[in-house]
């Protein structure tokens, strides 16, 4: 029978190798606790990662919404700009049309004289004016301006401001007709006929205007007296005051417009 030493040498067996392994309970508890801590940490990391992903998605959606809103605003602005561009183009077209009409009138004025010119100018001042009435007025203006040596453009300017070419116009003060002649002039001038008749109004209105032009030798003062009467004008002049009331500049503005239709900007 082999000895214990020989057996140990042959098989590597000894008492130490057959002794049962004893597990330390404290170390086991530490390992278990460490595993739980790892799982908790892992869970926290998973939650944090999920929150991060959710945050990224929210930010991404906000960015997308902001881009969509900016794009919508850009499209709205572009639409407004396109609309404004269309309006501007239309305005340019209208302006070109007006300039062409004025040019055409100037050409007609240059090629016609007398009554036709007066008629054309009235239609420029008031395109809605009845052509038949405009012809009657043009005939009388041409006739009596030639007779009394008065400027037909000034007569048209006065009618524009006074009555807007309405033969039946009547002011609160009682002035009547195209030239707004006061009724008391009928007796002074021996007027026969109705002041609502275009010819009667133009004939005697030009007489009154001529009377004031000869009296004051100044167009603005003459026009002011035509509107206010000579009394207030003389009273203001005696006191060293300006008698003008804004009427004369309105008439002269229309007058200059009519002069430009002749292709001339001559001053009075």
For 241, which DSSP code?
-
Q: Are 163 and 180 in contact (CB under 8 A)?
A: yes
Cα dihedral 127/129/135/138 (nearest 10): -80
Beta strand segments in the chain, E = none
- The tokens of 146 are what? 């030639």
Q: How far apart are CA 62 and CA 75, in angstroms?
A: 20
Q: How long is the chain?
A: 268
Catalytic residues, which ones?
A: 162
Give exposure, 137-170, as e/b (b: 16+ Cβ within 10 Å).
bbbbbbebbeeeebbbbbbbbbbbbbbebebebe
């Amino acid at each position: 029978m082999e000895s214990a030493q020989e057996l140990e040498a042959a098989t590597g067996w000894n008492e130490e190798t057959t002794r049962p392994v004893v597990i330390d309970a404290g170390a086991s508890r530490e390992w278990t606790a460490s595993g739980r801590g790892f799982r908790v940490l892992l869970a926290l990391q998973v939650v944090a990662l999920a929150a991060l992903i959710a945050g990224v998605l929210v930010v991404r959606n906000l960015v997308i919404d902001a881009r969509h809103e900016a794009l919508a605003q850009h499209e709205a602005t572009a639409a407004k700009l396109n609309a404004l561009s269309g309006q501007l183009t239309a305005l340019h077209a209208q302006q070109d049309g007006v300039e062409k009409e004025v040019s055409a009138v100037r050409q007609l004025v240059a090629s016609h004289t007398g009554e036709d010119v007066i008629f054309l100018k009235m239609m420029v001042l008031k395109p809605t004016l009845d052509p038949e009435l405009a012809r009657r007025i043009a005939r009388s203006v041409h006739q009596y301006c030639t007779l009394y040596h008065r400027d037909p453009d000034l007569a048209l300017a006065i009618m524009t401001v006074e009555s807007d070419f309405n033969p039946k116009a009547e002011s609160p003060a009682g002035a009547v007709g195209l030239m707004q002649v006061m009724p008391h002039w009928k007796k002074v001038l021996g007027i026969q006929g109705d002041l609502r008749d275009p010819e009667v109004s133009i004939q005697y209105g030009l007489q009154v205007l001529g009377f004031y032009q000869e009296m004051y030798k100044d167009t603005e003062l003459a026009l002011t007296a035509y509107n206010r009467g000579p009394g207030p004008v003389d009273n203001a002049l005696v006191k060293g005051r300006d008698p003008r009331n804004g009427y004369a500049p309105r008439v002269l503005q229309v007058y200059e417009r009519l002069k430009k239709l002749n292709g001339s900007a001559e001053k009075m």
